[in-house]
């Protein structure tokens, strides 16, 4: 019996072996198909990851650039604002100084004009006085009256000699005063 059984399993085993071989072929085909599908999925995923990486990288670059630009613009605006405020204050001081210098120049001009007008008035007065002196007729000199000399009659003393000169006349009047020129 054993022999009968031993003989019988061989065809059954061959059939099982054939089925297992067929199953292994199909499994190898499925495995090759799955492997090709896996490679295709891997390539697709790698392409998608690369595209997503590029998009994310570009977004990060844009964000970094925007952030840097925003930061630089903010810093620039702050520094520019500070410098503009300082320049505005300096311009206000310079404007005040310019106005003060302008007022000083105007006051100096007024002073110069006053001096000029006083000089012109002085020259005009001097010219008028000179014209009056030149146009006036020459004054007639008024001669002081000559003192009247009266001869003194003096009787000679009786014992005096006749040849002696007569004494000088007495000076009883002061010298005549000079009259001012009119």
Q: Output the CA torsion sign for 146, 147, 153, 159.
A: negative
What does the pLDDT read at residue 142?
Answer: 77
Which among 37, 63, 61, 40 is positioned nearest to 48, based on CA atoms? 40
What does the pLDDT read at residue 157?
Answer: 64
73-99 mean pLDDT: 89
Burial of 41 (0-12, 13-18, 19+ CB in 10 A): exposed
Prediction pTM value: 0.34
Cα–Cα dist 81/75, whole Å:
10
Given a cut of 90, whether residue 170 has pLDDT beyond it is: no
User: What pLDDT band is residue 123 in, cutting at 50, 70 and 90?
Assistant: very high
What integer best gives the mean pLDDT of the chain?
Answer: 81
What does the pLDDT read at residue 1?
Answer: 44
| Token pair belonging to 89 | 């204050």
103-122 mean pLDDT: 89
140-155 mean pLDDT: 75
Given a cut of 70, whether residue 80 has pLDDT beyond it is: yes
* Percentage of the chain lying above the pLDDT 70 cut: 78
What does the pLDDT read at residue 124?
Answer: 94
Give pLDDT tens digits for 132-142: 888 887 767 77
CA distances from 70 to 23, 64, 83 (A): 66, 10, 19
9-20 mean pLDDT: 82
Within 8 A by CB and 6+ apart from 144, the residues are 176, 177, 178, 179
Of the two residues 87 and 147, the one the predictor is more confident about is 87
Cβ–Cβ under 8 Å, residues 140 and 181: no
């Amino acid at each position: 019996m054993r022999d009968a059984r031993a003989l019988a399993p061989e065809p059954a085993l061959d059939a099982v072996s054939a089925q297992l071989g067929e199953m292994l072929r199909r499994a190898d085909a499925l495995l090759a198909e799955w492997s090709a599908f896996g490679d295709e999925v891997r390539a697709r995923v790698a392409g998608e990851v690369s595209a997503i990486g590029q998009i994310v990288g570009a977004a990060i670059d844009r964000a970094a650039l925007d952030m840097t630009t925003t930061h630089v613009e903010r810093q620039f605006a702050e520094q520019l604002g500070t410098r503009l405020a300082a320049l505005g204050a300096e311009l206000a001081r310079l404007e005040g100084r310019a106005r003060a210098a302008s007022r000083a120049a105007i006051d100096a001009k007024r002073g110069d004009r006053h001096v000029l007008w006083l000089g012109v008035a002085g020259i005009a007065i001097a010219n008028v006085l000179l014209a009056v002196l030149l146009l006036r007729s020459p004054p007639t000199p008024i001669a002081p009256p000559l003192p009247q000399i009266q001869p003194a009659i003096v009787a000679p003393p009786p014992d005096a000699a006749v040849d002696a000169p007569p004494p000088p006349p007495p000076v009883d009047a002061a010298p005549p005063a000079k009259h001012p020129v009119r």
